[in-house]
Amino acid sequence: MSASEPRPPRGDAPDGGEQALLARLRAGDDVAFEELVRTHGPRLLGLARRLVGNDDDARDVLQESFTSAFKGLPRFAGDAKLGTWLHRIVVNRALMTLRTRRRHPEHPMDDLLPAFESNGHHASHYSAWADPERALERRDARELVRSQIDRLPDNYRAVIVLRDLEELGTAETAAVLGITENAVKIRLHRARQALRSLLDAHFRGESS
């Protein structure tokens, strides 16, 4: 974490065990690095896969992220959890990959948000179906929802993946993305609205 990056929220500081691991990492302890990879690797691979959409790119993202983390250890202040710091590296690397290897066009965000008539009512009427985050609980809908998440603009895709799929709290998501908690809430709300718009045609007529 560089001096220009926002400090993580309170409560995100590493505990004594992480501090000891960090000291071993900075001392060049190979066993410590293997421990770091073993502890955080599986979850970070899942995060990378959800962001980039396929196993090959996800493995590349993870490998590049750990390489970047190893090189960046001297600049890491140690005032955030290692997991939060690694999440941030993976997210940034995944978003870079998406920008260079994008397979699906992004939808302009404004086109996906609800429009309103002059009387304040919605210009479009949504059919009755579960909210996107609840649809994720249904096996038959999960892949469809995730494919539509792929079509969201990068910043919105990242926040909905971290909050609704990774189930990070607002404070930790803010630390990972380097934005305020309020910005996380706003982006998440807009991302969910946009995702509902993308899914409406598929779920139209369903009642659950």
pLDDT value at residue 126: 47
Judged against a pLDDT cut of 80, whether residue 128 lies above it is answered with: no
pLDDT value at residue 146: 79
- Of residues 79 and 6, the one with the higher pLDDT is 79
In the chain, the amino acid numbered 144 is L
Judged against a pLDDT cut of 60, whether residue 109 lies above it is answered with: no
Judged against a pLDDT cut of 70, whether residue 14 lies above it is answered with: no
User: Is the Cβ–Cβ distance between 171 and 87 less than 8 Å?
Assistant: no
pLDDT value at residue 160: 93
Listed in order, the ranges of the chain carrying CATH 1.10.10.10 are 109-203
CB atoms within 10 A of CB 12: 19
CATH of 16-101, one of 3.40.50.450, 1.20.1250.20, 1.10.1740.10, 1.10.3470.10: 1.10.1740.10
Tokens representing residue 63 in the block: 């490998």
Percent of the chain with pLDDT over 70: 68
| Digit-coded pLDDT (tens) for 15-73 | 668 888 888 998 888 999 999 999 999 999 999 999 998 899 999 999 999 999 999 98
Q: Where do we find the tokens 């920008």?
A: 99
Q: Please provide the distance, in angstroms rounded to a whole number, between the alpha carbons at the two ends of the chain.
A: 44
Judged against a pLDDT cut of 80, whether residue 167 lies above it is answered with: yes
Listed in order, the ranges of the chain carrying CATH 1.10.1740.10 are 16-101
Confidence class for position 78, pLDDT limits 50, 70, 90: confident
pTM of the full structure = 0.69
CATH placement of domain 109-203? 1.10.10.10
Residue 56 host element (H or E): helix 55-72
Cα torsion 44, 46, 48, 51 to 10°: value is: -140
